[in-house]
Amino acid sequence: MEFAEIITKFHRNFARDGMPPEDIDKAFQQATTAQLHSLLEWEDLKTYTVPDSVVGFYETYNPHYLPTLSGGIRLSDLESIKVENSSAVPSMYLLKFGLLTIATTIGGHAICLDLNSTNDSQIRVFIADQAFCSYNHDLKVGECVLVPGDIAENYADDDPILLSYSLIKQCLPEIAPSFREFLERLSNEGFETIEEDFLA
């Protein structure tokens, strides 16, 4: 199976860190049909396609009460993914542009899949600072708050920088070129200083 080796690495890490065997066995569980459909048939995702590789992972290995992983990353289960993307900032704004948050950092930053990618095996993974964007109540639109200086200088000081997919791509750092590589690096404990490495 595509992710079996990665899951084995997670299990070894959990055992090394003293997790009881019965909890290790339950750390990744097959999702129920209802759990899977609650996300895939969610209205906010209807204009995007969740790649088969991602669906296959959650169908077979839906995370279940995982400990915080290396780099302070919390890998979300299907139910948490839906809650995060419907009510948390910045995830609820990024989803409107096809970025689905699948994990968060200990500092509250969002780790997202770019569902605009057309290559199933190369769906990119980005990290978004929790303060990256907010809702402009006057204009009733999302706007960027944290923008690199070279991009911000293209806007007048008083003009809101409206959130768009083009701007998201320019601003958010890519942390992995594919979902599989993200999980592989996570299982290898390769994101030890993710916030400092990508958001400092």
Contact 180, 2 (CB under 8 A): yes
The reply to whether 200 falls in a domain is no
pLDDT band of 154, cuts 50, 70, 90: confident
Residue 76 has what DSSP assignment? -
The reply to whether 35 falls in a domain is yes
Contact 199, 73 (CB under 8 A): no
The reply to whether 140 falls in a domain is no
The reply to whether 162 falls in a domain is no
Name the pTM for this structure.
Answer: 0.94
Number of domains in the chain: 1
- Mean pLDDT lowest among 2-16, 27-41, 108-122: 108-122
The reply to whether 198 falls in a domain is no
Q: Encode pLDDT of 133-148 as tens digits.
A: 999 888 888 899 888 8
The reply to whether 110 falls in a domain is yes
| Residue 57: alpha-carbon gap to chain centroid | 14
Distance CA(126)–CA(114), nearest Å, equals 7
The reply to whether 143 falls in a domain is no
Q: Which long-range contacts (CB under 8 A, 24 or more apart) does 41-46 make?
A: 42/82, 44/85, 44/86, 44/95, 44/96, 45/95, 45/100, 45/115
Query: For position 96, what pLDDT does the model report?
Result: 93
- Write out the residue range of the structural domain in which residue 177 sits: 4-132+172-189
Query: For position 153, what pLDDT does the model report?
Result: 82
Contact 173, 127 (CB under 8 A): yes
Distance CA(48)–CA(116), nearest Å, equals 7
The reply to whether 31 falls in a domain is yes
Q: Tell me, what CATH number does 119's domain have? A: 3.40.1580.10
Query: For position 122, what pLDDT does the model report?
Result: 77
Residue with tokens 């990665």: 6
For the cut 80, the answer to whether the pLDDT of residue 20 exceeds it is: yes
For the cut 90, the answer to whether the pLDDT of residue 184 exceeds it is: yes
HSE-CB at 71 with a 13 A cutoff on CA atoms is 28
